[in-house]
Amino acid sequence: MMDNENRTAGTVSQATAGTATQDTARTAQIARKTAETDVQVRLNLDGTGVNEIRTGVGFMDHMLTLFARHGRFDLTVICDGDTYVDDHHSTEDIGIVLGQAFAAALGEKRGITRYGSTILPMDEALILTAVDLSGRSYLGWDLPIPTEKVGSFDTELVQEFWLGFVRNAACTLHFRELAGTNSHHIIEGAFKSAARSLRTAVSIEKGAEDEIPSTKGILS
């Protein structure tokens, strides 16, 4: 099917012309190496949450593991970074490569729901996220984090991570902290909320599998 082939993206399991079997794999595999970090990401948007996360940053391992589970994304993230400096480069670069992987796996975005929003409670914290896989990069950020650190992790890096993500996934993503006092809960709620919103936005809309959900006819 032409349309299913068009939806295929990324570097894995490309359907070849003339093949009778349908291949709708929405997967990507990205490697990015700089003087500061070496990041490898594998993503399957239509997974079940199976993950292998080894970032060298303990707090980000925790966040990305729950991101995969709540998004039901099969996700591998391996990072070898200069954490002897601090966690900045690793955290930012993982956001960049994860964003690239989403863009590659989505391809031309045929059939997607496009929008997703979630209000996610985590104890006292209540975190709203809303995403539009628009092709335009924007981060709406109203997520005050009361402490500078959670464990050894600098909490200001959470925004850096999501900036890297939206710039490379080319999506609009808003975060609003509706309530919250505990930094760990606020950040964890934000990652879970974003995962749920993205899960909805990337999902294939029944009955509109062949449509690109834009009156412009393109989402890039």
Residues contributing to the site for Mn ion (CB under 5 A):
188
* Beta carbon nearer to Mn ion, 160 or 188: 188
Give me the residue label for tokens 């809309």: 205
* Beta carbon nearer to Mn ion, 92 or 188: 188
Report which residue's Cβ sits closest to Mn ion: 188
Residue 198 and residue 204: Cα distance in Å, rounded? Answer: 12
Give the list of residues 6+ apart from residue 207 with CB closer than 8 angstroms, or none: none
CB of 123 to Mn ion, least distance (A): 10
* Beta carbon nearer to Mn ion, 87 or 188: 188
CB of 21 to Mn ion, least distance (A): 42
CB of 184 to Mn ion, least distance (A): 6
Give me the residues paired with residue 154 across strands.
Answer: 149
* Beta carbon nearer to Mn ion, 102 or 175: 175
**Dmax (CA) of the chain:** 57
CB of 185 to Mn ion, least distance (A): 8
CB of 126 to Mn ion, least distance (A): 16
CB of 77 to Mn ion, least distance (A): 17
Residue 147 and residue 72: Cα distance in Å, rounded? Answer: 30
* Beta carbon nearer to Mn ion, 190 or 201: 190
Integer-rounded Cα Rg, in Å, for the chain is 17
Long-range CB contact pairs, 66-72, < 8 A, 24+: 66/188, 66/191, 66/192, 66/195, 67/191, 67/192, 67/194, 67/195, 68/195, 69/195, 70/191, 70/192, 70/195, 70/196, 70/199, 71/195, 71/196, 71/198, 71/199, 72/47, 72/48, 72/199
